[in-house]
Amino acid sequence: MQKQKSVNDQADNQSAEETITGLLQRLAMLRGWSSKTTESYRSDLLHAEAFFRTRHHSLMQADQAGVLDYLASLRRAGLRQSTIQRKRSALSTWFTYLQDQGMRDDHPARRLPRIHKSRPLPKLMSEQDVEALLAAPDTATTTGLRDRTMLELLYATGLRVSELVTLQLAHLDRAAGLVRVIGKGDKERLVPFGEEAARWLQAWLKRRPDQPASPFLFPGRAGRAMSRQNFWLRLKQYAVLANISPLPSPHTLRHAFATHLLNHGADLRAVQMLLGHANVTTTEIYTHVSRARLHDLVNRSHPLGTKG
């Protein structure tokens, strides 16, 4: 009897797999999916089918309570929210298709609670690592001086790398210690820079190649703006020289600018303005980084801390 039940279950599973595969092939033709997209949907739906089989149902018969139970099981399994969202999207597409084909009257994956994506904390560079990175370029050369000045200005202002490489001479107010930045959506903001960056800017402007036709503060070949990719490659080279791991990106210096300001008592709203964030909630992630650093400090320094 047990053997007969096992054979029946195997047949049911095979039937479910064939049904899912067949319907997905039709859906792929209608929507023009690639084979990779179709296989991704198939994998997610077969995963859901296996879950419902353990509860003596099938994906075709699943109700909203069952879908919620399935999504909860994914969270308990520790899957990333992006993965859960993808599987939920596959279910929604599946039930929409069944409904459109008249194979179901309801849509059990509709109007479910939203899944809020977690925002990963930015990679953090210590102040010591930043100092080592800034000291890496050979400032005896024109290229090294340019790169040192760019790094200093990036860390001093928190500019996006795209803002840095397109910065123009006319945007620099050395007397006031300000730089005028054209950010996302062509929004303009004024960002101050400190004495150290001002000192390197002065040295760079004295040695900057005579390219009167170039409006850029840090001109590349033929006076054009340096590409973001070129700057990233140079930053990577300096990080290797400074023995910094993991290798930072240009955006890591922007993160360091914001986090180090907050660590030293800067106001969150002021940091928001300096970074050019439209919403303060975008800036608030750096307060989480600061708190994470404090937790690490306690764990390493307190007698009852967890020392790694």
**Which two tokens mark 300?**
């390493």
Cα dihedral 86/90/96/97 (nearest 10): 150
**Which two tokens mark 159?**
């500019």
**Which two tokens mark 225?**
């703006």
Would you call 45 helix, strand, or coil by DSSP?
helix
One-letter amino acid at 213 equals: A
Positions marked active-site: 160, 184, 251, 254, 277, 286
74 class by beta-carbon count within 10 Å (0-12 exposed, 13-18 middle, 19+ buried): buried
> What is the rounded distance in angstroms from the CA atom of residue 33 to the CA atom of residue 84?
21
Count the neighbouring beta carbons within 10 Å of the beta carbon of residue 131: 13
